[in-house]
Amino acid sequence: MVNANNPSHYKVIILGVLVTLFGVYLKQFIEHSTVVDLIGWALTFIGAFISIGGVFKILKG
């Protein structure tokens, strides 16, 4: 059984939050273009899925 207090779970969540924040800042602070907006949205969703996956690992354990 995996311990819910395992630091690796929280490292995954923090990584996901950082990727999400990078995607949001990319969209806001770089000149608006279609390519940059799409990359920003992709990073935002990827980071959110990484974070949600970390939370589900905690709940599962």
pLDDT digits (tens, 9 = 90+) for 10-57: 999 999 999 999 999 988 888 778 888 899 999 999 999 999 999 998
Q: Count how many domains the chain has.
A: 1
Tokens of 30: 């770089």
CA gap 17, 49 in Å, rounded: 10
Residue 16 falls inside a structural domain: yes
Distance in angstroms (rounded) separating the CA atoms of residues 32 and 39: 11
Structural domain range at position 36: 7-60
Does residue 1 form part of some domain?
A: no
The pLDDT value recorded for residue 2 is: 63
Does 35 map to a domain? yes
Question: Do the domain assignments include residue 14?
Answer: yes
Model confidence pTM above 0.75 = yes
* pLDDT value for 60: 82
Q: How many CB atoms lie within 10 A of CB 16?
A: 20
